[in-house]
């Protein structure tokens, strides 16, 4: 297993109290696998990825429980310097808005070369050659001349390619992409996704892909992790999740994707809103929006039941399971 996240709890101290943004998350990623994390805004997707990268701002944030095993070693026991070496070299991240992560005052060439030199003991000249090669890989035309461009000279799609190039230049084992295409228009989105899939196939990079877009998930993921209220509520192979979703929340998410083959006037929306993290329901976090909710769901929290690699956190299935046994 490349990455194992076990019972991860990440808190933020706010003026209104402590928020458990990630509240006991478990999932893992195998070598060469693409795992998609989906869930509504505020469900803890970005906090999960920042926790893996060791980039939770402290204060106000803190990882208070759990383990993040990367190739068997707990990243939570690594020092600042060790994490710096791991970032970019073994694990890289692409952020949602490339303009905020590229430095506007340096050329993209300088920025890519700096990443290479930070992690590898090679000459500046060799690093420049590498930078040209990686820009070519991500489909940037005439890379030699583009090295001298500043980020604002480039279109959004090109900047995102540069970000991907920077993330991949040291051949990481794991690429974390947090909404990598949301800021881009649809045709460029498709190109960037193709690019990521290609890279996965050529370099064997595992990908943790965070997205709102279930269409994207269907196209490129092997497995899906559905998050709600800082917890995993369902996990499974992509085919199984789309064909046979089990958690009422996953069913709702899938029902709310527009479909070309159905003539319906209005799109389904899950009723209600995500719970306030300062005031989570006592039982199941989804109970106040769920049409299957009963007494038990309001008072008790279901656990994540794992069965042949597929997991679901819902009393509907724990009952079935008990009956089966």
Write out the residues near ligand ATP by the rule CB under 6 A: 12, 14, 19, 21, 39, 41-47, 57, 60-61, 277
Angle between helices 156-168 and 124-137 (to 10 degrees): 130
Residue 19 structure tokens: 């928020």
Cβ proximity to ligand ATP, 41 vs 187, nearer residue: 41
Least Å from the CB of residue 91 to Mg ion: 18
CB atoms within 10 A of CB 279: 8
User: What would the DSSP string read from start to end of 257-281?
Assistant: S--TT---SS----SS-PPPTTS--
For residue 65, count other CB atoms closer than 10 A to its CB: 15
Tell me, by CB under 5 A, how many residues bind Mg ion. Answer: 2
> Longest C-alpha distance within the chain, in Å?
68
* Closer by beta carbon to ligand ATP, 49 or else 287: 49
Nearest distance from C-beta of residue 11 to ligand ATP, angstroms: 9
Q: Which among ligand ATP, Mg ion, none contacts residue 275 (Cβ within 5 to 8 A by kind)?
A: none
Q: Which does 3 bind (CB under 5 to 8 A by kind): Mg ion, ligand ATP, none?
A: none
Question: DSSP 3-state assignment of 223?
Answer: strand
Q: Of these, 10, 20, 43, 46, which contacts Mg ion (CB under 5 A)?
A: 46
Identity of the residue, 137 or 192, whose beta carbon is nearer to Mg ion in the bound complex: 192
Distance CA 247, CA 255 (A): 12
Joined together, the tokens standing for residue 279 give 């005031």
Using the rule CB under 5 A, is 211 a contact of Mg ion?
no
Which CB, 59 or 72, lies closer to ligand ATP? 59
State which residue, 42 or 252, has the beta carbon closest to ligand ATP.
42
**Burial track 198-237 (b if 16+ CB lie within 10 A, e otherwise):** ebbeeeebbbbbbbebbebbeebbbbbbbbbbbbbbbbbe
What is the smallest separation between the CB atom of 250 and Mg ion, expressed in angstroms?
A: 19
- Residue 41 Cβ vs ligand ATP, minimum distance, rounded to whole Å: 3
Q: Return the number of the residue (46 or 287) whose C-beta is nearest Mg ion.
A: 46
Instruction: Provide the minimum distance between the beta carbon of 46 and Mg ion in the complex, in angstroms, as a whole number.
Output: 3
x/- map, 250-289, Mg ion, by CB under 5 A: ----------------------------------------
| In contact, 221 and 34? CB cutoff 8 Å | yes
Interface with Mg ion by CB under 5 A: which residues? 45-46
């Amino acid at each position: 297993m490349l990455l194992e996240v076990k019972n991860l709890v990440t808190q933020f101290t706010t003026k209104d109290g402590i928020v458990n943004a990630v509240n006991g998350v478990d999932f893992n990623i195998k070598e060469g696998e693409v795992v998609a994390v989906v869930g509504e805004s505020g469900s803890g997707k970005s906090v999960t990825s920042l926790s893996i990268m060791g980039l939770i701002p402290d204060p106000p944030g803190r990882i208070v429980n759990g383990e993040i095993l990367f190739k068997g070693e707990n990243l939570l026991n690594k020092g600042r310097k060790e994490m710096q070496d791991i970032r970019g070299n073994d694990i890289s991240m692409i952020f949602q808005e490339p303009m905020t992560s590229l430095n506007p005052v340096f050329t993209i060439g300088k920025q890519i070369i700096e990443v290479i030199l930070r992690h590898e003991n090679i000459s500046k000249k060799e690093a420049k050659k590498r930078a040209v090669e990686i820009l070519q890989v991500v489909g940037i035309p005439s890379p030699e001349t583009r090295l001298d461009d500043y980020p604002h000279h480039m279109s959004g799609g090109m900047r995102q390619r540069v970000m991907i190039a920077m993330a991949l230049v040291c051949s990481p084992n794991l690429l974390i992409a947090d909404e990598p295409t949301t800021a881009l228009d649809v045709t460029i989105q498709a190109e960037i996704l193709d690019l990521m899939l290609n890279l996965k196939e050529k370099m064997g990079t595992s990908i943790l892909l965070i997205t709102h877009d279930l269409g994207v998930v269907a196209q490129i993921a092997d497995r899906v992790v559905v998050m709600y209220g800082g917890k995993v509520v369902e996990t499974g192979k992509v085919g199984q999740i789309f064909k046979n979703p089990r958690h009422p929340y996953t069913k709702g998410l899938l029902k709310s994707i527009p479909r070309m083959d159905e003539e319906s006037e209005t799109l389904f929306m899950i009723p209600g809103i995500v719970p306030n993290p300062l005031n989570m329901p006592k039982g199941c976090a989804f109970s106040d929006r769920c049409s299957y909710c009963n007494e038990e769901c309001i008072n008790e929290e279901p656990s994540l039941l794992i069965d042949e690699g597929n997991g679901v956190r819902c009393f509907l299935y724990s009952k079935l399971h008990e009956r089966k046994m």
